[in-house]
Amino acid sequence: MLEKPHWLKRTYRDNSNLNYVREMLSALQLNTICDAAMCPNYVECFSKKTATFMILGVNCTRNCRFCNVINREPQKVDADEPNRVAEAVTKLGLKYVVITSVTRDDLPDGGAGHFAATIRAIHKSNPHTAVEVLIPDFQGNKDALKIVADANPEVISHNIETVKDLYDQVRPQAIYARSLDVLKSIKELAPQTRSKTGIMLGLGETPEQVYQVMDDLRTVGCEFLTIGQYLAPSSAHYPVQEYITPEEFDRYGQIAKEKGFDFVASAPFVRSSYHAAEALETEAK
More confident residue, 190 or 69: 190
**What pLDDT, in 10s, does the model give residues 112-133?**
999 999 999 999 999 999 999 9
For residue 131, count other CB atoms closer than 10 A to its CB. 24
Considering the domain boundaries, does residue 4 fall inside one? no
Considering the domain boundaries, does residue 116 fall inside one? yes
Q: What is the CATH number of the domain that holds 91?
A: 3.20.20.70
Average pLDDT over residues 78-89: 96
Which amino acid, residue 136? P
Considering the domain boundaries, does residue 113 fall inside one? yes
Structure confidence at residue 271 (pLDDT): 83
Q: Which domain holds residue 28?
A: 10-284
Considering the domain boundaries, does residue 277 fall inside one? yes
Highest mean pLDDT among 48-57, 87-96, 182-191, 236-245: 182-191
Considering the domain boundaries, does residue 2 fall inside one? no
**What pLDDT, in 10s, does the model give residues 232-285?**
878 878 899 999 999 999 999 999 999 999 999 999 999 887 667 777 776 655
Structure confidence at residue 19 (pLDDT): 76
Mean pLDDT of the chain: 89
Considering the domain boundaries, does residue 3 fall inside one? no
Q: pLDDT-derived band of residue 12, with 50, 70 and 90 as boundaries?
A: low
Considering the domain boundaries, does residue 197 fall inside one? yes
pTM of the model: 0.91
Structure confidence at residue 200 (pLDDT): 95
Q: Identify the weakest region by mean pLDDT among 143-147, 151-155, 274-278.
A: 274-278
**What pLDDT, in 10s, does the model give residues 155-174?**
999 999 999 999 999 998 89
Structure confidence at residue 32 (pLDDT): 82
Average pLDDT over residues 196-217: 97
Structure confidence at residue 14 (pLDDT): 59
Instruction: Please say if the pLDDT value at position 223 is more than 80.
Output: yes
Considering the domain boundaries, does residue 218 fall inside one? yes
DSSP one-letter string for the chain? -PPPPGGG-------HHHHHHHHHHHHTT-EEHHHHTT-TTHHHHHHTT--EEEES-SEES---TT--SEESSPPPP-TTHHHHHHHHHHHHT-SEEEEEE---TTSTTTTHHHHHHHHHHHHHH-TT-EEEEE---GGG-HHHHHHHHTT--SEEE---BS-GGGHHHH-TT--HHHHHHHHHHHHHH-TTSEEEEEEEE-SS--HHHHHHHHHHHHHTT--EEEEEE---SSTTSPPP--PPPHHHHHHHHHHHHHTT-SEEEESTT--TTTTTHHHHHHHH-
Instruction: Please say if the pLDDT value at position 65 is more than 80.
Output: no
Q: Identify the weakest region by mean pLDDT among 1-15, 78-92, 190-204.
A: 1-15
Spatial distance between the Cα atoms of 284 and 243, rounded to a whole number of angstroms: 34
Domain count along the chain? 1
Spatial distance between the Cα atoms of 114 and 104, rounded to a whole number of angstroms: 11
More confident residue, 43 or 87: 87
More confident residue, 62 or 121: 121
**What pLDDT, in 10s, does the model give residues 14-54?**
566 777 888 888 899 998 876 555 565 555 665 666 678 99
DSSP one-letter string for 101-145? E---TTSTTTTHHHHHHHHHHHHHH-TT-EEEEE---GGG-HHHH
